[in-house]
Amino acid sequence: MKGIYCLISAAIALTLASCDENARLAKEIHGTWAGTPENVTDNSAITATLIETYSFTDAAGTLSKGAYGGDISITGMISCSTQILGDSTLVEPMTLTASAVSTINGTWTVIDDDEIALVLNPETLVVNMDPEAVTVANNVVTNNDNPSIEKLKSGMVTTLRDGIKHTLSMRYASIRQLDDIKIKGPLMKFEIGKNDYVFTKQDESK
């Protein structure tokens, strides 16, 4: 009987220790973290550089007994480009470059002392692109006021934005968990699948 009590006591101690570690991770990850530039593509014509910012909130709340979590918002700063063909008056292919900002929201839950589950809502994914900030260049025509260029640009902005949104929707559909999280000072390292990431804590006093 004494042995049973010892086993129960040990189990309770381990459970309490696990809860403490989960609470520690929830507390440490609370805030805003910025990643490093990453190349993304639609495997077709669009290439882009993405810098993401993860904002974890409501770390002190509990989603269920013994589970820590809250809301997450992921913001992406995007620089992208694609090559398009001109019309009969523009023989040379043109390169269209643009900047965009994306956002997607969801929830996060601590599932272990170094793992967090993410549930991102695809319906909240938004990609904003300023048409005025889009530039077009080729080897022959450098005048963006050319009517032919302006005609092509207006349609390609929509195509480029939709392409980026599709690429990001596929990306975020595959992100369900942050593994092997290590936080030391302002740096956070973690894995998504087989990819390693390093994020830096942002100064929220600014």
pTM of structure: 0.80
Which letter, b or e, does each residue of 83-115 get, where b requires 16 or more Cβ atoms within 10 Å of its Cβ?
ebebeeebeeebebebbbebbbebebbbbeebb
Angle at 156 between CA 152 and CA 161, to 5 degrees: 160
Determine the pLDDT at residue 72: 96
- Yes or no: say if 23 and 57 are a contact pair by the CB < 8 Å rule: no
| pLDDT under 70: residue ranges of the chain | 1-19, 59-67, 85-92, 138-154, 204-206
The label of the residue with tokens 């077709």 reads 44
For 15, the enclosing helix (H) or strand (E) is helix 2-29
pLDDT value of position 47: 87
Q: Measure the CA–CA gap between 31 and 185, rounded to whole angstroms.
A: 13
Check residue 16 and give its pLDDT.
40
Quote the pLDDT of residue 33: 98
**pLDDT at site 8:** 43
pLDDT at res. 60 = 55
Q: What is the pLDDT of residue 140?
A: 47
Rounded CA-CA distance 73/54 in Å is: 6
Answer whether 147's CB lies under 8 Å from 179's CB: no
